[in-house]
Amino acid sequence: MAPFIGDDERASGTGQSSGSGVDAPARRNVLYIDAYDSFSYNVVAMLEEVLDVKVSVMTIDSDWPEGNMVEYLQHFEAVVLGPGPGDPNVAKDVGIMRDIWNLSGADMLPVFGICLGFQSLCLHQGIPIGRLPYPLHGQVHRIKTVNRDIFENVQDVEVTLYHSLYAKMDAPEQSTRGGDSGNPHTDRFASKDLDLLAWFLLEDERTQIPMAVRHQRKPLWGVQFHPESCKSDREACAELLRRWWDMALNYNKKTGRGEYGILPDPNHYASGSITLPAAASTMLDWSASTSSCSPYRTFTARNLDAEVICENLTAPNSPTVLFQSNGRYSIISVPSPASWRLEYYSETQRLLLEKLQNCHQTESAPRGQSVTENIVERSLSVSQFWDVLRFVMDMKKVDSGSLTVPFWGGFLGYFSYEMGLACLARPKTAAEIHPTNENAGEDPADASLLWTERSIVIDHKTGQITVQSTRAGDDMPAGWLHQTEQFLQDLALSRSQCKVCTSDTEAEFLDSILKQSVIKFPTQENYQRQIRACQAELEAGESYELCLTGETLITLPSPVSQSGRASFPWKLYKRLRKYNPAAFSGFARLGNVKIVSSSPECFLNWDRDSTLEMKPMKGTVRKTEDMTMEKAREILGSTKEIAENLMIADLIRHDLYGICGSGGVHVEKLLEVEDHGRVYQMITHVKARVDRNRPGFAARDMPQLPSSNMSGYGLTALQRCLPPGSMTGAPKERSCMHLSSIEDRKRGIYSGVMGFLDLGGGGSFSVLIRTAFTCSNEQDDEQLWRIGAGGAVTTLSTPEGEWDEMLTKLRTGSLGRQLNIAAAWLSTYTRASTLVYPGSLSSISMAGPQDASLEEILWRSPPHVQMMGGYLHSNNILFYFAESPFFDATSNNASLAIQANYNEAFRHFVETREAFEGRLRTMQGLEFVVAYDPLQAAAQTDTRFAHEPSNVWVIRKQMRRKRAGQEDEVVVLATFFVVGDCIYMAPSVASVVGNRILSAVTSLTSLLKTASTLPIFTPAHGHTYLPPAPKPTEAGQPGVPSQQSKENTPMPDAENPARVPLVGSQTGNTASTFQDTRTLAESLNLFLRYEDEYMDESPLVGEPGSFIMSKANDVDRTATAKQAPNTIPTKMGTPLVRVDTPGKGPEKVGTPSSSDESRLKKKKGRVGG
């Protein structure tokens, strides 16, 4: 028998209270048939709130109690058939709804159908159900109504639609009845028994969609729209429900229905106790040292951040969880002697408990090195796993601690997307589907939690650091609290007394690993095929929205040293945090699983009292120079964007109603556009309040839940809300089933949640997007990292648009000014990598500026130009340059951009380049500025060519130093040229001088050599030639000298002039037809006058301007590694980077092969050559 959820009325068997906690037996009973829809509890709550009734819920695949439907229905005044996915023509999609239509005579009772229930009613009355020309999921429209029946005095209502199927009724005839006030529409249809009450015309003005009907003789009503949606007119929909209820009660009174008796409790709970598996006892034994209070020490040190504290209190290879926020709090776990962790695998129903032993603690710092002491393995079901967590959190409840921090101790960790699938009401619906991760390596545990007694909490608002512990004895004099507080204060003092220098060693270490990456992207063809498959399901009514995702795999070599292998994930996280400081960042090392996350989306929060809240984000507009809040509201006000957000808003209301019950959920913000730094984001904020005396609809079968500990309700909310609706779509059950089939892989940690369970009763979890994770063992030679990205697919989506959105999310983290290519974390590290975009995008080669063997470096990114408005101009040129590998994220440019991102007071500095560079001039340190602006120069030039400016920008990398009472000292470090959308790094001064000297010497040598073949004229001798040098014979004997030539004697080799060098050497550039003949003196003179700005009209190979032109007269987009002159030593070779191109095997990119060299030499030439 499928889940049957009734009221929790064990004590008296009477109806549920109306909200005051007092039983209300007089309340009437209504039965709700749930079609596994993600909005069902919204309907149930509206019925209870508006009609003051008691609602019991049955699912469509339930069996009637004791096999007797008629007898069971005698307990109810009416039945409501709810919405749901699927087609009423398919028997299993409507289930027991069809039984209701077989009632007759005295067994008949009032029925109200919504959406699927409405269609089932129409189908039973002979009206065919067909597909709409286009689905209307999540769309809000104003419908036309008659002025009678349930719509009396309810006219032209604005309602939310969630359907792609409709009842195909004939055009109405002219009404012969009165009472419609001259309304030209009638209530008579092709079905002789149904009256039309409301309708909606599609945009074509020809297709009429029935919105409400009623049976002429039976108490049967139905509406196609969703009255419970938060965008439907609440007042009007409540009024029509009240009118239906009055008419239903009148029908029952006339037919003599009544004396319903006591509604039986379908769950038959005898008491509030449950039997727990042995794992619960083990967990309690292992946490015996955890006390019921959390003593703490506080001090203020604004120069200590979470990363510094984490590095100094935890060893690189110890189990660690860090939650870092740009908001109020950051939380750091600290190992203790009684630390342990758990892993749960939902597919095999296996629980693994690992006890850790803190075996190393120095006197100077309580820094732990954790090793395994023992491991316990248990078998338990998914529901038992959650019961055990609730039990442990309740038994180990902490009653006191610092009231200013949200976490006192408890569990820190994550729940995977697959754990969420296992928590659905029908987790085995798609049991025949077995997602395969052929190339994804080992799958992570579906839940991994670290039991934490000791922790550090940073309050970013006050600068206060709280050192706390639930471990008994840690608050003793000279105990752990005292030692740790003293250690951190000393650390803060030492950092304030000496300048903290950032070493390049860490960056070089990361780059040495990351530049050898093998990156496998999703293929465009396959992803777009999946998008079309999603839309096919949407059009069939299987879902309202499907959140499709793709996965990118990055294979990296493991560092050579053991310490390097242990520290690599942490260093990776620090770089992510540096370049991409999102609202919520997280790092976790739990066994083989390492997580590096920068997620901007909060999933679920609850406090220690009674409040739950969720804040989904759907709909994003990237900030540009011209984008304003008003424009963003206009864009996000589109039908598609509103539909995406509205579906998730209604879905999470359903989830929260399942915990808090009717009257317990309130929408704080609906479809509001907020400024989130670099983007405008549409958000909805929903809060719920728990009534411990009245569990919600989804929790009524949990007699053990009511308690004084809020953690039980929070855990139940987490269990019921997983997986995140923003990562699945709606209805959640059916959407997840189809996504598993379409994606054909396990998402793993991506799309799951990460957060904490506080022993004081609170909790907080964020959605794991913008996340990279690995399950690779550190002892393996390679590490496989996985990154996910995707988007919500609706019927208004296009395959091309969704593909571009997915790629954009792979390339773009919340700090969109960095090199975000594979994902935010990877993009900033690709200084010497080759990444391949499958499909229409070509490969982009990049070489690090530290590679001296490359005299000219080219980088371009057309997608970034498109994201910046389609062209480069004065106000976005620096931000485009910031996308390139030449940009230094430690510069003042990056610092100012980050400040503007999170501080409104700095926002105006990034609106124009003038303001941006003006602010840079007030700062000291590394900066990038525009040295030459072709648009500005053209505007200031009074010529007839001013409207055709040059397309060459000059950008300088320079170091600015402030000098008291004097002008700033500015040292130019490098020069870059932007030609079109291509960025070139100018060669170094030494390289230019070396080339000039080499060219001059070669030219002089050639001139002297040529002079020996030219005639000399004197009055005495006329034209004569210098005698050629004697040619040695094979025996080594000198050759016979030739006689002097007479007047008009032909020059040597005159018959083959091609062999005679005219001027200069041809060896420097064989494809060039123009040779640089400047002398050494002229070269040095130009250099002394213009220094590193020197660039003449005929640049040398490797100087700016010397790039290849294609046949189409366009710049060849492939970066060409030009050979360094023999006089310049090569410091390091071009890095070898393997790239897994879709459809091909891995390739090595870097140092050209001999065949590549010959091909490049043939192509190489000067502009116009």
Q: Taking the CB of residue 584, how many other CB atoms lie within 10 A of it?
A: 25
72-81, 792-801, 1151-1160: segment of lowest average pLDDT = 1151-1160
Please state the length of the chain: 1169
Please give the Cα distance from 980 to 201 (Å, whole number).
50
Instruction: Give residue 1144's pLDDT.
Output: 40
Q: Is residue 912 situated within a structural domain?
A: no
Q: Is residue 1127 situated within a structural domain?
A: no
Instruction: Give residue 896's pLDDT.
Output: 83
Q: Which of 164-168, 427-431, 1048-1052 has the highest mean pLDDT?
A: 164-168
Helix (H) or strand (E) holding 913: helix 913-920
Q: Taking the CB of residue 747, how many other CB atoms lie within 10 A of it?
A: 26
Work out how many domains the chain is built from and give that number.
1
Encoded amino acid at 996, one letter: R
Please give the Cα distance from 830 to 859 (Å, whole number).
12
pLDDT-derived band at 154 (thresholds 50, 70, 90) equals confident
Encode 77-105: b = buried (16+ Cβ within 10 Å), e = exposed: bbbbbbbbbbbbeeeebbbbbeebbebee
Instruction: Give residue 635's pLDDT.
Output: 86
CA-closest candidate to residue 353, choices 325, 332, 380: 380
Q: What is the 3-state secondary structure (H, E, C) of 402-420?
A: CCCCCCCCEEEEEECHHHH
Q: What is the 3-state secondary structure (H, E, C) of 194-253?
A: EEEEEEEECCCCCCEEEEEEEECCCCEEEECCECCCCCCCHHHHHHHHHHHHHHHHHHHH
CA-closest candidate to residue 166, choices 197, 207, 194, 138: 207
Catalytic residue among 228, 343, 542, 856: 228
Instruction: Give residue 882's pLDDT.
Output: 86
> Is 319 exposed, middle or buried, given 0-12, 13-18 or 19+ CB atoms closer than 10 A?
buried
Q: Which residues contact 146 (CB under 8 A, 6 or more apart)?
A: 180, 183, 185, 187, 196, 197, 198
**Across the strands, what pairs with 56?**
31
Q: Are 570 and 586 in contact (CB under 8 A)?
A: no
Please give the Cα distance from 995 to 1002 (Å, whole number).
10
Q: Is residue 997 situated within a structural domain?
A: no
Angstrom distances, CA of residue 748 to CA of 645, 751, 895: 25, 8, 34
Instruction: Give residue 848's pLDDT.
Output: 34
Structure tokens that stand for 1149 in this block: 């990119």
Q: Are 1090 and 821 in contact (CB under 8 A)?
A: no
Q: What is the pLDDT of residues 8-58, one digit of tens each?
A: 333 333 333 334 444 445 689 999 999 989 899 999 999 999 999 999 999
Q: Are 653 and 659 in contact (CB under 8 A)?
A: no
In degrees and rounded to multiples of 5, residue 1017 shows phi and psi of -105, 130
Please give the Cα distance from 307 to 819 (Å, whole number).
23
DSSP track, 115-151:
THHHHHHHHHTT--EEE-SS--TTEEEEPEE-SSGGG
Residue 340, pLDDT > 80, answer yes
In degrees and rounded to multiples of 5, residue 125 shows phi and psi of -90, 15
Structure tokens that stand for 523 in this block: 């293929």
580-594, 1060-1074, 1075-1089: segment of lowest average pLDDT = 1060-1074
Instruction: Give residue 1016's pLDDT.
Output: 56
Please give the Cα distance from 250 to 778 (Å, whole number).
73
Instruction: Give residue 98's pLDDT.
Output: 94
Q: Are 600 and 617 in contact (CB under 8 A)?
A: yes
User: Does the bond joining 706 to the residue before it have cis omega, within 30 degrees of 0?
Assistant: no
Please give the Cα distance from 355 to 371 (Å, whole number).
9
Q: Is the sign of the CA dihedral 907, 911, 915, 919 positive or negative? A: positive
CATH at residue 70: 3.40.50.880
Catalytic residue among 137, 163, 185, 226: 226
Instruction: Give residue 1125's pLDDT.
Output: 39
pLDDT-derived band at 466 (thresholds 50, 70, 90) equals very high
Query: Which residue would you say has higher pLDDT here, 380 or 701?
Result: 380
Residue 775 annotated in active site: no
Please give the Cα distance from 208 to 214 (Å, whole number).
17
Encoded amino acid at 577, one letter: R
- Helix locations, 522-663, DSSP H: 524-539, 562-579, 629-636, 639-660
Q: Are 434 and 374 in contact (CB under 8 A)?
A: no
Residue 906, pLDDT > 80, answer no
CA-closest candidate to residue 677, choices 897, 912, 916: 897
Q: What is the pLDDT of residues 1125-1145, one digit of tens each?
A: 343 333 333 333 343 433 344
User: Does the bond joining 723 to the residue before it have cis omega, within 30 degrees of 0?
Assistant: yes
pLDDT-derived band at 346 (thresholds 50, 70, 90) equals very high
Angstrom distances, CA of residue 958 to CA of 920, 952, 1092: 11, 19, 13
Instruction: Give residue 276's pLDDT.
Output: 78
pLDDT-derived band at 943 (thresholds 50, 70, 90) equals very low
Q: What is the pLDDT of residues 711-729, one digit of tens each?
A: 888 998 999 899 998 899 8
Residue 94, pLDDT > 90, answer yes
Please give the Cα distance from 174 to 192 (Å, whole number).
15
Angstrom distances, CA of residue 1064 to CA of 450, 1077, 1128, 1162: 74, 7, 21, 20
Residue 137 annotated in active site: no
Please give the Cα distance from 95 to 502 (Å, whole number).
66
Q: Which of 443-447, 563-567, 1057-1061 has the highest mean pLDDT?
A: 443-447
| Domain extent for 158 | 29-255
- Mean pLDDT over 284-295 rounds to 93
Q: What is the pLDDT of residues 529-573, one digit of tens each?
A: 999 999 999 888 888 889 999 998 999 999 988 888 888 999 989
Q: Is residue 700 situated within a structural domain?
A: no
Residue 235 annotated in active site: no
pLDDT-derived band at 706 (thresholds 50, 70, 90) equals low
The region that residue 95 occupies, defined by phi over 0 for left and psi between -120 and 50 for alpha, beta otherwise, is: left
Q: What is the 3-state secondary structure (H, E, C) of 284-336?
A: HHHCCCECCECCEEEEECCCCCHHHHHHHHECCCCCEEEEEECCCEEEEEECC
Query: Which residue would you say has higher pLDDT here, 554 or 363?
Result: 554
Instruction: Give residue 358's pLDDT.
Output: 53
- Mean pLDDT over 749-778 rounds to 92
The region that residue 787 occupies, defined by phi over 0 for left and psi between -120 and 50 for alpha, beta otherwise, is: beta
Q: Indicate the pairing of strand 78-81 with strand 111-114.
A: parallel
Query: Which residue would you say has higher pLDDT here, 788 or 897?
Result: 788
Helix (H) or strand (E) holding 671: strand 665-676
- Mean pLDDT over 107-129 rounds to 94
What DSSP state is assigned to residue 854?
-
Instruction: Give residue 264's pLDDT.
Output: 60
Helix (H) or strand (E) holding 741: helix 732-743
> Is 20 exposed, middle or buried, given 0-12, 13-18 or 19+ CB atoms closer than 10 A?
exposed
Structure tokens that stand for 1040 in this block: 């016979």
pLDDT-derived band at 628 (thresholds 50, 70, 90) equals confident
- Mean pLDDT over 165-190 rounds to 52
Q: Is residue 66 situated within a structural domain?
A: yes
Please give the Cα distance from 844 to 25 (Å, whole number).
72
Please give the Cα distance from 810 to 821 (Å, whole number).
6
pLDDT-derived band at 947 (thresholds 50, 70, 90) equals very low
Query: Which residue would you say has higher pLDDT here, 21 or 776?
Result: 776
Q: Is residue 204 situated within a structural domain?
A: yes
Residue 5, pLDDT > 80, answer no
Structure tokens that stand for 185 in this block: 């529409």
Residue with tokens 């799958």: 443
Residue 858, pLDDT > 80, answer no
CA-closest candidate to residue 1023, choices 1042, 1043, 1041, 1046: 1046
Q: Which residues contact 218 (CB under 8 A, 6 or more apart)?
A: 108, 193
Q: Are 319 and 342 in contact (CB under 8 A)?
A: no
What's the mean pLDDT when you consider all of the chain?
75
Helix (H) or strand (E) holding 114: strand 111-114
- Mean pLDDT over 236-247 rounds to 95
pTM score, whole prediction: 0.67
Q: Is the sign of the CA dihedral 71, 75, 80, 81 positive or negative? A: negative
Q: What is the pLDDT of residues 402-416, one digit of tens each?
A: 999 999 999 999 999
Please give the Cα distance from 320 to 305 (Å, whole number).
16
Instruction: Give residue 338's pLDDT.
Output: 87
CA-closest candidate to residue 114, choices 219, 192, 35, 19: 35
Q: What is the pLDDT of residues 124-145, one digit of tens each?
A: 998 999 988 888 888 999 999 9
**Across the strands, what pairs with 589?**
320, 594
Instruction: Give residue 26's pLDDT.
Output: 67
- Mean pLDDT over 580-602 rounds to 84
Residue 417, pLDDT > 90, answer yes
Q: Is the sign of the CA dihedral 285, 286, 288, 293 positive or negative? A: negative
Instruction: Give residue 436's pLDDT.
Output: 58
Q: Is residue 97 situated within a structural domain?
A: yes
Residue with tokens 């509406």: 223
Residue 521, pLDDT > 50, answer yes
pLDDT-derived band at 240 (thresholds 50, 70, 90) equals very high
Please give the Cα distance from 227 to 112 (Å, whole number).
12
Q: Is residue 136 situated within a structural domain?
A: yes
